[in-house]
Amino acid sequence: MPYFDAASTAPLHPLARQALLSALDDGWADPARLYRDGRKARMLLDAARETIAAELGARPDEVAFTTSGTQANHLAVLGALAGNHRKGRHLVHSAVEHSSVLHAAERHEADGGAVGAVPVDRQGRVSADQFGAALRPDTALAVLQSANHEVGTVQPVAEVAELCAAAGVPLLVDAAQSAGPLPVPAGWSLLTASAHKWGGPGGVGVLAVRKGVRYRSPLPADDRESGRVPGYVNVPAVIAAAVALRAVRQQAAELNRTQHARIERLRAELPALVPDLAVLGDPEHRLPHLLTFSCLYVDGEALLSELDRAGFAVSSGSSCTSSTLTPSHVLAAMGVLTEGNIRVSLPPDCTDADVDLFLRVLPQAVATVRAQLDAPSAGTATAGRLVLDTLGRRCPIPVIELARHLTEVPVGGVIAVLSDDEAARLDIPAWCEMRGQEYLGEEAGPTGVAYLIRRLT
């Protein structure tokens, strides 16, 4: 079964698996203990820390191991804000950060802090200038991901780091999606990553804090991991994570060329194979192994299930919020359709045959899902508009009804789509933008919101 969801979790690297097995024998004891097995575990932990630090461009004493990338981001955001609170309580982040950064920001806001989100373009990329302009004298921390987890767009971290340094603002770089395939960009004050994204085991994250950067742990005291991460350190998992990172970095240059070409092929061929398919993300500044596309008139989860039946494991929508049925904040910030999205992220052992097969399977899968759509509902002509009532029906139905009925009004005519699904507020304007129609805005009605569209073509 071809696994195309490496961005959720990469398969455990074969060398990491071997290392984990050995470490269960050699590094099982408590590294805080002074007897032989404890000292051995400590030695192995120190060696793993040196390896990971070297691969991430950090000093070993700057690196603490967390238990996940999410914990690393929570600690980095709240710890850096606490450490720099004399500078102020303003936090800046891009609008497309991982949900763990946004959740930490919400917590900061609930505690009385101020938060500013820097918008992105339609490819999901921040402008360094806009990011720099968002920095204020009371900004205590700025956060920028190295690459986006949903659409693979690589951010201009080096330029932003220079602006932050000039403004005296520490910069947290969330490198979870790029650490492994890509080198870590220079200029970070704090750096976070997650081992299971680069082929290490679960349960290991990285929080690096540059020497001299102020940090105060938001958690209760503990003397492990330089006082930054409380709790017993899982030494075997850390050893396996280090082995995986070293192996992946050594293979990266060659593998990236292959993966980049495979994604390039998908980018080029998919729109021709599947009608009404739009490829998302920056075509140039992008992760080598990741692609997200959006199929009009399709529910993403239904398409995912159809692909699963055909033997493909892919992600749909926002990777960390797909279980909550809220529209992806990344796609919303990009102003693109938040429905019908599929993220394909190739693991290191992907083959060209897998990609061939995907190109053969996808058109049929999309056709199957589209064929299952309900029959169109009738529109009502009222006050010179065609009114489409989609109340009580979840996206993508409002957009589907809009597309079906568009030609029932003359060019220049207006359609009103009644919807009570929040995602319609994002998706109807995004559809208009894709289709070259004019979005006129919304009107509050007694039973829901009416979204108004003028037919232009």
Q: Annotated catalytic sites, by residue?
A: 320
User: Segment 298-327, which members bind a copy of itself (CB under 8 A)?
Assistant: 301, 304-305, 307-308, 312-316, 320-324
Q: Which is nearer to a copy of itself, 8 or 130 (CB)?
A: 8
Dmax (CA) of the chain: 85
Strand 385-389: give its sheet, edge to edge.
Answer: 380-382, 385-389, 414-419, 449-454, 438-444
Rule CB under 8 A: say whether 1 interacts with a copy of itself. yes
219-227, 272-280, 357-365, 443-451 -> range binding a copy of itself (CB under 8 A): 219-227
Question: In this structure, which amino acid lies at residue 350?
Answer: C
* Spatial distance between the Cα atoms of 282 and 124, rounded to a whole number of angstroms: 7
Q: Which one among 51, 68, 153, 437 touches a copy of itself, defined by CB under 8 A?
A: 68
Question: How many residues bind a copy of itself, per CB under 8 A?
Answer: 68
In degrees to the nearest 10, what's the CA dihedral of 34, 224, 9, 237?
0
Task: Tell me how far, at minimum, the Cβ of 300 lies from a copy of itself, in Å.
Answer: 10
Task: Tell me how far, at minimum, the Cβ of 297 lies from a copy of itself, in Å.
Answer: 20
- Six-digit token string for 166: 């000039």
Task: Tell me how far, at minimum, the Cβ of 11 lies from a copy of itself, in Å.
Answer: 7
Rule CB under 8 A: say whether 3 interacts with a copy of itself. yes
Least Cα distance to 303 among 366, 349, 261, 353 occurs for 366
Give yes or no for a contact between 123 and 174, defined as CB atoms under 8 angstroms apart: no
* Spatial distance between the Cα atoms of 69 and 92, rounded to a whole number of angstroms: 20
Least Cα distance to 337 among 301, 370, 302, 295 occurs for 295
Task: Tell me how far, at minimum, the Cβ of 292 lies from a copy of itself, in Å.
Answer: 15
Q: Which one among 233, 277, 344, 432 touches a copy of itself, defined by CB under 8 A?
A: 233
Quickly count: other Cβ atoms within 10 Å of residue 371's Cβ: 7
Task: Tell me how far, at minimum, the Cβ of 443 lies from a copy of itself, in Å.
Answer: 33
Residues 18-57, one symbol each (x = binds a copy of itself by CB under 8 A, - = not), give --xx--x---xxx-xxxxxxx-------------------
Give yes or no for a contact between 166 and 142, defined as CB atoms under 8 angstroms apart: no
Task: Tell me how far, at minimum, the Cβ of 74 lies from a copy of itself, in Å.
Answer: 5
CA distance from start to end of the chain:
43
Quickly count: other Cβ atoms within 10 Å of residue 168's Cβ: 11
Q: Which is nearer to a copy of itself, 159 or 222 (CB)?
A: 222
Give yes or no for a contact between 196 and 9, defined as CB atoms under 8 angstroms apart: yes
70-78, 155-163, 180-188, 419-427 -> range binding a copy of itself (CB under 8 A): 70-78
Q: Which is nearer to a copy of itself, 78 or 92 (CB)?
A: 78
Integer CA distances (angstroms), 150 to 106, 145, 352, in order = 21, 12, 23
User: Segment 106-135, which members bind a copy of itself (CB under 8 A)?
Assistant: 106-107
Positions of E strands within 1-99? 63-66, 90-94
Give the binding site for a copy of itself (CB under 8 A).
Answer: 1, 3, 5, 8-9, 11-12, 17, 20-21, 24, 28-30, 32-38, 67-71, 74, 78, 99-100, 103-104, 106-107, 194, 196, 201-203, 205, 219-223, 230-237, 301, 304-305, 307-308, 312-316, 320-324
